[in-house]
Chain A
């Protein structure tokens, strides 16, 4: 198995698995050549952007070990040099020392399905070199680590240099880092003046030995919006402080141009416990009254214990939000009002209670209507041209029907222990099953609109035909009621 990428002369190998490597597939080779070498090679296209995003996600996941993690995947570098870098200063003792921590990392990564090569050293450069060019799980500690043979005997490629520079160094006869380190610094600086780090062995060497600092820059956490109320005396009921907290939070959100989607209210109790309730908005909001309303009926769920002296309101999830004015007359915006209504109802009855019915593209009656979240974007669909009942029973209820001829119209039916004699009928309207949805063997339906002498109008259907070979005699169902 190999992944290919588009090169200047047709597809080239971008990555491969172990079996392919053992069969002789090499990185960067052209796909046609490798196909000749390994006829059974399975090939798929590489997804560079997806890989990078996955690596960034993995960097966040790796925060379980230490707070400073970053994805080491610069834009213009080849994929095989990408990796994760973790600054584990001060975290290793939590996992029983450095070797134990490395073993745990490898185990956790392999549980996710990744093969990882790990190494630990005092600088980013040294760890990078060891991870790729030294035996797995190398540890480089000690006082004189920078001059240790393990590091100095690595090839120049371990200096995180570009392929061209590595080739140049090889041609100069510098086969080991030690050889470069032994050169006079002045001549190296003269040979590579003002080059960026990826093409400058001197800078890379200094980064490796720690002469040049290279801190890990973890991606920034999103800004935190939080309003606190510190109380001189413990209290039991946060109701009176809530409007003020909401106003404070909304001011912060307004300064940052954001709106809250989720809120959490935490009280810090005098006995050292905390209690928290959460609320959510259907669309970003920074209106203090609305936010306060979302908590109104749930404050009693807070367990005050012996009282609390700190209340904090946070917005863990926010969205960019701009102020809009729909027209000059200053009318309220329809969608905003509706979003507030949805929030208020969801705060009281749960987020799943409210659904929005919309017409959907289908002839099967129960599929001709989709129920969606209340604020889902609307895609208008045409309504069916034929007459449909005003009420639908879900599921359809089985009825006992008398008919004159097997495939003909019904004459009388019994529904909920009452008999209806059919005075007039309209139909049948035949609706075939949707073969791309339904299981094989689903029977067609013949719908009739029937009316009894008292004026009750029903929509009943016969499921299947007598000789369609899909089960026993067809059954009848009452599916809807007409106005």
Chain B
């Protein structure tokens, strides 16, 4: 088992939750991000993306609520539960065959608009259409390998569109090499053996992943061990998808230098 640091983590998406400046924060979280799944880590990537999307959506709702509260009283309709806005989920057919499709009972109550297409170029077109529609909670595209359609220009278009409309866009890349990309955040994810289960020593407990942010515009790159808890909404007011991040490397200086070289490398 890898020893975890007990000290508070260097959170990669921190300034947001504490005191979000209006407007700027929405754009910061609503952008194009990429996550590269290690072989066998496709489901982990899915869980990670869902957790991040939920977080981004809640930040957005908070900011909206604050803006509304500033101008006038909250409307009566805010008290009645609104239907959850859906996520547009685009899957290349090969990904679907290889890693399976997202399974709603394991993901949460948010509805998914699922579209399975066979050509990567179609996926990008559909993702752009989705990003034009600002009522979506997010757009997720799953792609396999390094298709030529996934050029820097295409990704730049997606990034600009996501930032213009305020809808976060995630690419899940399967068996792909991280090449040139316009994604604002690029992650690598691999599953780790889970925590001990407090109720049953033979059973797997809370899921853990090895997360690596190797390129980012706003945050410092680094490596983390993530603990993914899927709790019910009633549990102590925590979000349904809770992500705990702990620095993976014990030596802080080592992490610094490692991050620095990496940043230089991707300059």
Contact = CB atoms under 8 A, between A and B. Distances in A.
A and B part of one assembly:
yes
B114 A371 contact: yes
Interface in B109-153: 109, 111-117, 122, 125-126, 129-130, 132-136
A451 B204 contact: yes
Interface stretch (A21-29, A90-98, A345-353): A345-353
Interface in B202-247: 202-204, 207-209, 228, 230
Given A327-B75, A481-B42, A391 B100 contact: yes
B105 to A, nearest CB: 4
Given A393-B100, A483-B48, A354 B207 contact: no
B85 A392 contact: no
A109 interface: no
Contacts of B109: 359, 380, 383
5 contacts: A349-B115, A359-B104, A365-B103, A390-B50, A454-B40
Contact of A369 (B42, B77, B85, B105): B105
B203 A345 contact: no
Contact of B44 (A359, A374, A423, A483): A483
Nearest to B71: A329
A449 interface: yes
Given A334-B85, A392-B101, A394-B100, A353 B204 contact: no
Contacts of B190: 455
B192 interface: yes
Given A348-B125, A455-B194, 20 more contacts: A332-B134, A341-B136, A342-B113, A345-B129, A353-B116, A356-B113, A369-B104, A384-B105, A394-B100, A425-B202, A426-B202, A449-B204, A453-B193, A455-B190, A455-B191, A456-B40, A457-B191, A483-B44, A483-B46, A483-B209
Contact of B99 (A327, A357, A424, A481): A481
Nearest to B85: A334
A110 interface: no
Contacts of B48: 483
Contacts of A344: 129, 132
A482 interface: yes
A387 interface: yes
B45 to A, nearest CB: 8
Interface of A: 327, 332, 334, 337-338, 340-342, 344-345, 348-349, 353-359, 365, 368-369, 371, 374, 378, 380, 383-384, 387-394, 423-426, 449-451, 453-457, 480-483
Contacts of B88: 341
B179 interface: no
A388 B113 contact: no
B6 interface: no
A392 B96 CA distance: 9
B106 interface: yes
A449 B197 CA distance: 13
Contacts of A388: 103, 105-106
> Which of under 10, 10 to 19, 20 to 34, or 35 or more describes the interface residues of B?
35 or more
A481 B43 contact: yes
A167 to B, nearest CB: 63
A337 B133 contact: yes
A337 B105 contact: no
A335 to B, nearest CB: 8
Contacts of B135: 332, 334, 337-338
B20 interface: no
Most A C-beta atoms less than 10 A away, residue of B190, B191, B204, B230 = B204
A276 B135 CA distance: 34
A387 B85 contact: no
A99 B59 CA distance: 78
Nearest to A424: B204
A483 B113 CA distance: 20
A481 B100 contact: yes
A454 B191 contact: yes
A354 B89 CA distance: 10
Contact of B134 (A337, A345, A358, A389): A337
Interface string B182-199: 000000001111100100
B47 interface: yes
Interface string B83-101: 1011010000000000111
Nearest to B191: A455
Contacts of A384: 105
B107 interface: yes
A390 B130 contact: no
Contacts of A389: 43, 103, 106
A451 B193 contact: yes
A480 B193 contact: no
B108 interface: yes
B102 interface: yes
B98 to A, nearest CB: 9
Nearest to B88: A341
B200 interface: yes
A380 B110 CA distance: 10
A391 B202 contact: no
Contacts of B202: 424-426
B101 A378 contact: no
Contacts of B112: 356-357
A390 B43 contact: yes
B73 to A, nearest CB: 12
Contacts of A393: 100
Contact of B103 (A327, A454, A457, A480): A480
B224 to A, nearest CB: 15
Contacts of A423: 193
B103 A369 contact: yes
B105 A425 contact: no
Contacts of B125: 348
Contacts of A387: 106, 230
Nearest to A423: B193
B114 A383 contact: no
A349 B130 CA distance: 13
B102 A391 contact: yes
Given A337-B135, A345-B115, A390 B46 contact: yes
A483 B209 CA distance: 9
A483 B192 CA distance: 10
Contacts of A338: 86, 133, 135-136
Nearest to A481: B43
Given A392-B100, A394-B101, A353 B106 contact: no
B133 A340 contact: yes
Contacts of B117: 349, 353
A456 B190 CA distance: 9
A54 B165 CA distance: 51
Contact of A374 (B113, B134, B197): B113
8 closest A-B pairs by beta carbon, nearest first, are A483-B47, A426-B203, A388-B106, A392-B103, A391-B100, A481-B43, A455-B191, A341-B133
